[in-house]
Amino acid sequence: MTDANDPVDAAPDYAHANGWDREYEAFGDFDLPTYVGPSTFAKLPWVTDPAELRRRAVDVAIVGAPFDDAVSHRPGARFGPRAIREAQYSTGSLHSLQLGVEPFEILAVVDAGDANIIPAWIERSHAFIYRKVREVAETGAIPIVLGGDHSITWPSATAVAEVRRPGTLGIVHFDAHADTAPEDWGVLAGHGTPMRRLIESGAVAGRNFVQVGLRGYWPPVDVFAWMQEQGMRWHLMREIEELGMEAVVDHAIGEALEGADAIYLSIDIDVLDPGMAPGTGTPEPGGLLTRELLRAIRRIVGAVDLAGMDIVEVSPPYDHAEVTAMAANRCAMEAIAALAAKRVAGSPVRFAGRGTRPS
């Protein structure tokens, strides 16, 4: 029988015994591995309030448009924004070996979250993409929109064009397809129609469109005739094969800047060869190398006033190894790094407001 006055054995100190009570450094979300903590682009702060974007004077804001109800072939691009955000193994203050800058030390970059999307309602989804991109662009930040199918370019580029008025917006469009169909089986807002909708609505003039990488068996002759009537310019994959990517990109830059004050860059990931990007809705053999596309993005962003950008048609279900999402992630990173290099060189980046130049 134990005497009530006997001392009670102290409880074992397991933390001390196992070394778990030592002083360890705790890391913030930005520096943790990509698979730990919130799933934001490059582990950047999640800032969805436009007032906070303006207060922070954000230079670049990532926007998700997880929508694919307008596809004509393989669905799955609604999962693109999350996959693109997650397709990165490096964290913290990244260093661009190509441009010699640490973009997140030079620019204020955040993840502004996703547009308020629900399934099976094209008009509503496009309305909320338009509203989300516009409220971000109005703060002066450059929106980089992660799609989503290519129909999201219609509301996204429209929003940017409106914010940039009275300036004129041009579009440089990398794609295997022209996306200028009059309709997709009667649907005006399909992912094969956004460039026609932008031109017909008056948001962007046809003469300010430049397309790069077209190949394959679409569009038909009558659609090409309409494109020519609008004054659109394009560079087929055949031209890239004959002249080289760099020469074609330089032509595209010159054409895009004819009469345009700022440029919206639209990247359909199917401009890459399917061997480089198998996870897309409409793969077309014979496309660009990833290296060529990333170099082109750096070159274009470094030469123009970038008003906005989208990266679309990443469909993760068709790519078990995340190759396509990684390519899309790097498209965004190369644009951000090129913007940082511009600021280091003394060129403006952030949009200061209507009637003013970027800062």
pLDDT digits (tens, 9 = 90+) for 186-244: 999 999 999 999 999 999 999 999 999 999 998 999 999 999 999 999 999 999 999 99
Burial of 122 (0-12, 13-18, 19+ CB in 10 A): middle
Query: CB neighbours (10 Å) of residue 194?
Result: 29
Domain count, the chain: 1
Question: How far apart are the C-alpha atoms of 298 and 290, rounded to whole Å?
Answer: 13
Kindly state whether residue 130 falls inside one of the protein's structural domains: yes
Reported as type and span, the H/E element at residue 142 is strand 142-147
Q: Which of 229, 223, 145 is nearest to 178 (CA)?
A: 223
Q: Which domain, by its residues, includes 118?
A: 46-85+97-342
Kindly state whether residue 281 falls inside one of the protein's structural domains: yes
210, 248, 304 from 255: Cα distances, Å: 7, 11, 11
- Do 314 and 328 contact (CB within 8 A), yes or no? yes
- Count CA atoms closer than 13 A to 198's CA, side-chain side: 36
Position 34 scores a pLDDT of 78
Beta bridge partners of 236: 214
Instruction: Report whether the peptide linkage leading into residue 148 is cis, meaning its omega lies within 30 degrees of zero.
Output: yes
Kindly state whether residue 261 falls inside one of the protein's structural domains: yes
Question: How far apart are the C-alpha atoms of 223 and 351, rounded to whole Å?
Answer: 35
CATH number, domain of 55, equals 3.40.800.10
Position 11 scores a pLDDT of 87
DSSP state of 235: E
Strands of the sheet containing 209-214, edge to edge, are 109-114, 60-65, 142-147, 306-312, 262-268, 169-174, 209-214, 233-236
Q: Which residues of the chain have pLDDT under 50?
A: 355
Q: What is the dihedral of CA 160, 171, 336, 130, to 10 degrees?
A: 30
Position 355 scores a pLDDT of 47
Position 8 scores a pLDDT of 57
**The pTM is what?**
0.93
Mean per-residue pLDDT of the chain: 94
Question: How far apart are the C-alpha atoms of 286 and 347, rounded to whole Å?
Answer: 36
